[in-house]
Amino acid sequence: MLEKIDIDLPASPESLAKLEPGSIVYLNGVVYTAREGVYDRVLNRKENLPVPIHEVTNANFHCSPAASSNADGSYRIGAVTATASFRFSKYMGDWLDATKTRVVIGKGGMPAEDYKNILAPRGAVYLTTVGYGTGALLGQGVRKVLSVHWLEELGIAQAMWMFEVCGFGPFLVDSDLEGNSLFAEQGKLVNRNIEQAYKGLRKPALLRYGETDDRKDELI
């Protein structure tokens, strides 16, 4: 049975130390969204952060919220759909340093080398959504939109949202503080017998550009 862990944000080093690859996590507190649009403005264009993130939270969610506005100017969130985090690898080191983020959340994981060389040395972990189609479930954990920044410039998906959350999850721990990766370890188990599974099959007659017939090759 998978262990379920509740974490209050900002997450303490002690709470993150309890996480192991494969654990199920629920979050309470404040989570902010940021992806390439925000990263570019802050890290490349040198714009100031609109809020002192490190004073409020240390959890960054790579996601696109399904948001609608109320008559009083507030927002309601129907769902929060995670996006693939591997696309943001080039930003991660500088972003973690600038914001003191220690919990990165997204979809599909990041390269195992990023966990070892970028996240773990900074005391950060990676949480992934559990399967597809969980956006509406996660949306139930968003209690309030505290603020939204750069909405007009970046649009709903890329803007920085500050969510107050409770029982926000479930998320699956992919990487821990040691840089161990659940996905990487499971990939090794799958690949251990993969050649035997394809033994005797003919080589594919048609290959698209850039394709390989090495069954151990994997595209994230």
Chain segment 9-42, per-residue pLDDT in tens? 999 999 999 999 999 999 999 999 999 999 999 9
> The domain at 4-197 falls in which architecture?
Alpha-Beta Barrel (3.20)
Quick one: CA torsion of 33, 34, 38, 40, rounded to 10 degrees? 180
* Total-model pTM: 0.86
Instruction: Return the structure tokens found at 123.
Output: 């005391």
Burial class (CB in 10 A: 0-12, 13-18, 19+), 189: exposed
Chain segment 51-98, per-residue pLDDT in tens? 999 999 999 999 999 988 888 888 989 899 999 999 999 999 999 999
pLDDT of 188 reads 74
